[in-house]
Structure 1
Amino acid sequence: MQFFKVNDVYELTETKVKERILWVDAEYTQCYTIELNIERLNLHLRDIKELDDKFDSRKLIFSIEDDIVKYLNSIDMSECQKDLLEKSWQVIKRIALTYNEPDIFNEKTRSELIKKVINELHICKASVYKYLRQYWQGGKIKIALASELYKCGGKGKEKNLGTQKVGRKNYLSYVEPDKVGRNVSSEWKDIFKAYIKKYYFNHKETSLQKVYKIMLAEEFGKKCINDNGELIFKTIPAHECPTFSQFRYWYYKRRNIEKEIIGRKGEKEYKLNNSPLLSNAKYHAFGPGYIYEIDSTPYPVYLLNRIKSENIGRPIVYHVSDVFTTEIVGVYIGTGNACYEGAVSALYNCTENKVEFCEKYGIKIGYNDWPTGGLPNSLRADRGELAGKLPEKIVSNLGISIETTASFMGKSKGTVEGSFNIIQSTLKPYLNGVIERDFRKRGGSDARKHAAMTIYEFTRHVINAVILHNKSIIGNYPLTQEMINDGVRSIPNEIWNWGIKNISGNLRTVSDTYLKLNLLRDGVAKVTEKGIEFVGRIFRCDIGTVENWYPKARNSGYWNVNIRYDSRNLNIIYVIDSKGNRFITCYLSAEENLYRDKTYEEITAYLNDMKVELQSLRDYQNQCYLDFHQNEKDNVQNANDLNLSNKDVLTRNIKENRKIENEVYGKEQAITLGERKEEIIENPTKDQQNTNLKINIFNKIKSIRKERNNAG
């Protein structure tokens, strides 16, 4: 059984008539209702059981009437409307309040009460009936008597304009009334829409005024023949064309800001600078260490080299911020570009003892000045340093999930992006070499000439600013009721300490060595007879010597080993020995001094350059060998031409012949001071050469035998 109450609204499904219950008798058998959505007073006496049966048979359904519209419009009522409301309420108070129910619902009694109030207030009968209808149809509340002017005028609806020009007249019409202009027609609207889409919603960012001029030139012209018989285009009279005001009004009336910005500047620009901010990241972080945000930025200051005092450009600064507390839990300052090593160095700094870390830079702090963090549950970064396969060990071995955001979407990492702005604004008045707004403009200051800090000194400045931020009040921080009860102020350090005590379980720690091995890059090296080879360079370790790795490699062949390395300096690599559950430190060998203190990128770039250079020298090498080969062929051919016809003589007296040749050739090759006088000898013919050779050999042999006989 359905329970019917006063002010309930129901609809009779068969007739689509809506009625409101005005009164229910004490026995719950009958009720008075008033028909809604009509302009006359139409009351009914209904049987409750009959209404209940209709409800069970689904011939009656309940409806909800929203009276909030009248209430909202009553807030901004004028004084005149308020006076009318009070006047009508005075009528209702005299005849229609509960003390007159149910008699007021009887037509005869109601008529007598109305006559009485007419005489008292000097008001017409129609007005009294109007007030009664509004009061009962509106739910028997005072605001139901409020004026319904908000329904007038058709606000927000398209008007069907005729030929009569609407709006303010143009100045020309005062002189020439027939040139008053035209209303915007549906045909014009279609033209407006087409030209807005074609010329306004594109990346050329054409102004609305320019689009209007293009539209006039293309759509509001006519072809005609000039005095020379040529076909030309001529604009139609201005009063027959849409004005720029009409064009602009039509556009802004239907303007879609999201569509406009995306069409003119792109979706990325809209999401970055113009999309709504409908959430707060702090409500999605459930305590310290639940989510860290990491990002890097080139800091707008120039630094000096620590050795030569030469300008080294701008540093790269990494921040790691805790979303829940806005605490900066880790920093890293480098001189290169943004890279994986910089990101993991900042992540490692989150776990470092901050007292010891600050001592490296000559800064003394207490533990509460910068509490030591830990590893988070989740790390939020953009698709840069921590994208791809590099962070797989961070996910699998350290248990940190990585959330990647869209590139150049600073609002996706609002906490860490805000920390950059805070630190930069804090340090800017105290630093030399800071890039100003007029940098690179004519007459502007050159920040490079004012550089005065090394990276060590700049790091000290950053650390001091971070400590200040962590101890400062954060405006508009959404403190929880529990924080307020415990007297927590909106200071990152206090929120951090409160969260550690009350919302623990998010931060985690691992051993320092285990953490470093999982943050370093992976690589594969091979053990050879020379040592451990990686990127073409040789590394050695004492364990390899003791365990005879290198002789084994020479006799049994090389084998691969897994390593860890920091690409910023390849003086050291770490071999992972899974069998011995250890890591082995290997150092760059002495003969590789050329590559000492070089980065992985520098070494690989040099090796690639060498390969390119060798390839470029192939033509030179081929030409050299071709010249050598041709000379050798000529020499062999000349020697063959000088051979004796009698081959037997070549097999006799070889020792004596060598001695003779040695004496002759030795005199020719002897080292002498001064210039040697050369005899000019004419080239003999081939027959002469053979004859002279025989004579010389014969004379030489004869003289040698004579010397032996004399000696004997």
Structure 2
Amino acid sequence: MDTLLRNDVFEGKDGCQYRVVSNTSSANHGWVINLSQPHAWPVEREFNVLRHHSEHRSHTTRETLPEFAFYSEKARARANAAYEAIKPLVLNDDGTENKALFCEKTRSALVRARAAELAISKTTIYKYLKDWWTLGQTRYVLIPASARNGKNQPAGTGSRGRRPDDDRYAVFQMSANDIKWAKEIIQKRYIGNEHASLVGVHSDLIAQRYSLLDGNGARINLPEGERPSIHQLRSVLKKYFTQEDVERGKHGDKNFERELNPMLGSSLEECVAPGHIYEIDATILDVFLVAQANRNSIIGKPTLYLIYDRKTRLCVGFYLGLENASWTGMMLAILSIAVDKQALCRKYNVPYDPADWPAHGVFPAKFLADRGEGASHNSDRICDGMEATISNTQALLPIRKGLVESGFKSVHTAIKDEAPGYEPPRDAVKRRSPKYHLDAALTLDEIVSIILGQIVRHNRSKMRRFPLAPENVLDGWAAIPRELWTREVSHGGGVGTRYTHEYLHKQLLPVDTAQVTQQGITFRGCFYKSLEPTVRQWMVQAAVKKGFAVRCSYDLRLVDELIVHDSNGKSYTCTLTADSKRFAGYSYAEVKYLLSRELDMKKAKAPESEQARADQRAQAKAVVDHAIAATKAARTGAARSARRADTAAARGAEQTTRRREEVTMPPTTNIEETKGKVVRLRPEGSAATPSAEIQMQSVSDATPTTGSSLQDLLRNLALEHTNESTAK
């Protein structure tokens, strides 16, 4: 059991709390005062008997030391005066503790003498002594607890209004109900309304609670002095509502935490090593771009993705494209971590140094993204294939990933003075702002080159306010992102994992289900083929039995290729079939739109098709009805069973008649030309057969028309064949 010393507080076996006032020569014996009784005085006791093996602890009730730092000089002076009043009683002339004061008989005499000497009440001396012993025996425990002793407090009038200078009305004293009504209307009308003013709220309060209806039904406010003033309402606001309550109520919790919340934390608190947390986010780059094929065409603003390592501030990846903020852009930004940096710098004419990219191919344990693409279903691909997690920040709180947000600001700062077509964000919604898009001159590749150069500069530059550890400062470390990464990894190791670009590309592509048919593998309106024997056998199987589903990976931006996967994990790349090549170069969203438009047009033409079908059926019915009627008329009383289906003579006669009708169709050229091309089978003047006369008569009487040479040749051959048959 610990030894009790002066001012220690302990729990007695009787349930009361005691404070040690003074120790005697024995470690287990001394003077104590009961803190649980209101009129207790020091008594001499055995500590072990009181404690009964209980542990001593610090006292936490009202008898604690006062927060004297919040008191005024006046209050401190009063405490010093009180201490000087009891100092001769608690201390001897040599500065030792006066044990006689603890005894009740001698204490009374000493107090009376001191009170007479100072000409004050002995009750005051007793109060000073009681506070001295119960609160901790320091001079600042003698500061009175009254609000009138000089303690620093907000200004107020105790619910009384300000006295007018001209005494035109009496001071209004607010009651408990008045304060209640004031609090209710402040909470409802002022704090809950972003644009409400306190003057307007005060007018509503007077109209609701401090007004009367006259004989005409008009509402009359009570005169001043019979209702709270605007100053009293403001005092209630300051007394019962904090500034945080007002700001949160007027602007919302999200806006308060984003704009006004105290910034006490650090982004390094959750990060343990390089490669632990990557922050990723997207923004619209404030630069208008032009088309590469035609610089006179403005294509708008691109979307920029940045990825930063939280521990070292190293920019490890980026993507700049024309896609809106989506999983596709986020996927390409993540892929840029493993892309060949040397080829990338060569493509965009940026000097390459391997030291600028120490995190090449290193993927983190956690991605920190917002609640957009970072919360999509496709983001599960990161968790499944890369063994990483995705943490989503709260909505409307960009400060939760402030590192990448600062990266956007530095990029815009670097390009705003040089890039033509840059539009300041403040001018985007300003009326009559300059037409910045007319200055656009950069293509997408050119702005990518500028952004890439800015990232390289950032990775090489020293950061001004980076909190280096003291030991790192003594070791000569510089707050340069690429050096911090290298040194941190060499000293403490990183927690990232390295993957190849090929693996990541297949892993991050969205996965869905395609259908195998005899015509190919169909996916989202497109058909695909492959020369792989496995895919061919799939199509044969679908033709023999029925179609079946397979897993596939695809790129939302382009329909030209589809990657299908078999049950063994092997992948096959498929291309568009001949019928689907009309969609080459399109995205899946564009194909979906085209197919929907095609379907809409088909639906729009459906009434015309139905009408054409109805007209055809009506025409066919008329022919059939006429044929049936004619057939019945031709029977001439014969039985129906007397008809025969294979009469050769009737068939031959019909064929001869049809041949004559087909041959004697109107010619497509002039009759003179036709005569010149006909080979006469009989000399002129000889008698012709009746059929030939009829034939020549019909040919010569035909109306001449124009036609193609192929049609003329066919007709001439038919005439020659007819003449030969007639001659025979």
1:314 counterpart = 2:301: yes
Residue 6 of structure 2 corresponds to 6
Q: How far is 1:432 from its partner?
A: 1.7
For the 8 Å contact 2:520–2:528, the answer to whether it is kept is: yes
Q: How far is 1:598 from its partner?
A: 0.8
Alpha-carbon displacement from aligned partner over 1:94-116 (angstroms, at most 9, x marks no partner): 83665465577679999999999
Secondary structure in 2 matching 1:391: helix
2:495 to 497, 506, 526: 506
Secondary structure in 1 matching 2:621: helix
Partner Cα separation in structure 2 for residue 268 and residue 34 of structure 1: 52
Q: Residue type of the partner of 1:6?
A: R
* Residues 213 and 666 of structure 1, relative CA distance in 2, 3 Å threshold: farther
For the 8 Å contact 1:299–1:316, the answer to whether it is kept is: yes
Residue 603 of structure 1 corresponds to 591
Q: TM-score, normalised by structure 2?
A: 0.78
Q: How far is 1:672 from its partner?
A: 5.2
Partner Cα separation in structure 2 for residue 405 and residue 364 of structure 1: 36
Q: How far is 1:154 from its partner?
A: 8.9
Partner Cα separation in structure 2 for residue 322 and residue 9 of structure 1: 52
1:95 counterpart = 2:85: no
Residue 690 of structure 1 corresponds to none
Q: How far is 1:81 from its partner?
A: 6.2
Alpha-carbon displacement from aligned partner over 1:573-594 (angstroms, at most 9, x marks no partner): 2233454x54333233455332
Secondary structure in 2 matching 1:283: coil
Q: How far is 1:316 from its partner?
A: 0.7
1:211 to 183, 201, 225: 201
Q: How far is 1:602 from its partner?
A: 0.9
Q: Residue type of the partner of 1:192?
A: A
Residue 694 of structure 1 corresponds to none
Partner Cα separation in structure 2 for residue 246 and residue 269 of structure 1: 29
1:69 counterpart = 2:66: yes
For the 8 Å contact 2:191–2:246, the answer to whether it is kept is: yes
1:435 counterpart = 2:423: yes
* Residues 411 and 140 of structure 1, relative CA distance in 2, 3 Å threshold: same
Partner Cα separation in structure 2 for residue 271 and residue 326 of structure 1: 24
Residue 287 of structure 1 corresponds to 273
For the 8 Å contact 2:564–2:574, the answer to whether it is kept is: yes
1:341 counterpart = 2:328: yes
Partner Cα separation in structure 2 for residue 598 and residue 281 of structure 1: 42
* Residues 90 and 104 of structure 1, relative CA distance in 2, 3 Å threshold: closer
Q: Residue type of the partner of 1:195?
A: I
For the 8 Å contact 2:86–2:129, the answer to whether it is kept is: no
Q: How does 1:266-665 map to 2 (within 5 A)?
A: 266-309=252-295, 310-373=297-360, 374-436=362-424, 437-544=426-533, 553-555=542-544, 557-579=546-568, 582-641=570-629, 645-647=633-635, 653-664=650-661
Residue 21 of structure 1 corresponds to 21
For the 8 Å contact 1:288–1:503, the answer to whether it is kept is: no
How high is the sequence identity, in percent, across the aligned residues?
Answer: 23
Partner Cα separation in structure 1 for residue 82 and residue 727 of structure 2: 160
Alpha-carbon displacement from aligned partner over 1:492-534 (angstroms, at most 9, x marks no partner): 2222112211222411112332221101111333444444333
Q: How does 1:250-265 map to 2 (within 5 A)?
A: 250-265=236-251
Secondary structure in 2 matching 1:284: coil
Q: How far is 1:429 from its partner?
A: 2.0
Q: Residue type of the partner of 1:575?
A: V
Alpha-carbon displacement from aligned partner over 1:438-487 (angstroms, at most 9, x marks no partner): 34533311221121111111111211222222233334433334433432
* Residues 90 and 654 of structure 1, relative CA distance in 2, 3 Å threshold: closer
- Of 51-60 and 387-396, deviating more is 51-60
Residue 49 of structure 2 corresponds to 53
Partner Cα separation in structure 1 for residue 534 and residue 42 of structure 2: 109
For the 8 Å contact 1:11–1:63, the answer to whether it is kept is: no
For the 8 Å contact 1:423–1:469, the answer to whether it is kept is: no
* Residues 74 and 408 of structure 1, relative CA distance in 2, 3 Å threshold: closer
Residue 222 of structure 1 corresponds to 212
Residue 696 of structure 1 corresponds to none
Secondary structure in 2 matching 1:351: coil
1:169 to 159, 163, 166: 163
Partner Cα separation in structure 2 for residue 242 and residue 111 of structure 1: 52
Secondary structure in 1 matching 2:172: coil
- Of 423-432 and 532-541, deviating more is 532-541
Partner Cα separation in structure 1 for residue 428 and residue 58 of structure 2: 71
Q: How does 1:184-195 map to 2 (within 5 A)?
A: 184-195=174-185
Q: Residue type of the partner of 1:333?
A: L
Partner Cα separation in structure 2 for residue 29 and residue 550 of structure 1: 97
Q: How far is 1:303 from its partner?
A: 1.0
Partner Cα separation in structure 2 for residue 463 and residue 92 of structure 1: 81
Partner Cα separation in structure 1 for residue 443 and residue 725 of structure 2: 92
Alpha-carbon displacement from aligned partner over 1:360-380 (angstroms, at most 9, x marks no partner): 211113122232341111112
* Residues 68 and 483 of structure 1, relative CA distance in 2, 3 Å threshold: farther
Q: TM-score, normalised by structure 1?
A: 0.80
Partner Cα separation in structure 2 for residue 211 and residue 148 of structure 1: 36
Partner Cα separation in structure 2 for residue 39 and residue 224 of structure 1: 58
Partner Cα separation in structure 2 for residue 673 and residue 523 of structure 1: 68
Q: How far is 1:307 from its partner?
A: 0.9
Q: Which 5+ residue runs of structure 1 have no aligned equivalent?
A: 675-698
For the 8 Å contact 1:660–1:700, the answer to whether it is kept is: no
Partner Cα separation in structure 1 for residue 211 and residue 129 of structure 2: 62
Q: Residue type of the partner of 2:660?
A: E
* Residues 453 and 541 of structure 1, relative CA distance in 2, 3 Å threshold: same
For the 8 Å contact 1:11–1:62, the answer to whether it is kept is: no
Q: Residue type of the partner of 1:495?
A: L
For the 8 Å contact 2:393–2:400, the answer to whether it is kept is: yes
- Of 127-136 and 293-302, deviating more is 127-136
Partner Cα separation in structure 1 for residue 727 and residue 58 of structure 2: 151
Secondary structure in 2 matching 1:237: coil
For the 8 Å contact 2:76–2:143, the answer to whether it is kept is: no
Alpha-carbon displacement from aligned partner over 1:129-169 (angstroms, at most 9, x marks no partner): 887776666645455566777684798799996xxx94532
1:235 counterpart = 2:213: no
For the 8 Å contact 1:20–1:34, the answer to whether it is kept is: yes
Partner Cα separation in structure 2 for residue 703 and residue 357 of structure 1: 87
Pairs aligned (count)? 668
Secondary structure in 2 matching 1:574: strand
2:187 to 159, 181, 197: 197
For the 8 Å contact 1:321–1:330, the answer to whether it is kept is: yes
Partner Cα separation in structure 2 for residue 225 and residue 109 of structure 1: 78
Q: Residue type of the partner of 2:266?
A: N
Q: Residue type of the partner of 2:178?
A: W
Q: Residue type of the partner of 2:196?
A: T
Q: How far is 1:317 from its partner?
A: 0.7
* Residues 98 and 111 of structure 1, relative CA distance in 2, 3 Å threshold: farther
Partner Cα separation in structure 1 for residue 354 and residue 591 of structure 2: 42
Partner Cα separation in structure 2 for residue 150 and residue 279 of structure 1: 36
Q: Residue type of the partner of 1:566?
A: D
Partner Cα separation in structure 1 for residue 252 and residue 416 of structure 2: 33
Q: How far is 1:330 from its partner?
A: 0.9
Partner Cα separation in structure 2 for residue 501 and residue 381 of structure 1: 28
Q: Residue type of the partner of 1:435?
A: E
Q: Which 5+ residue runs of structure 2 have no aligned equivalent?
A: 637-642, 672-689, 696-722
Residue 688 of structure 1 corresponds to none
Secondary structure in 2 matching 1:445: coil
Q: How far is 1:543 from its partner?
A: 2.4
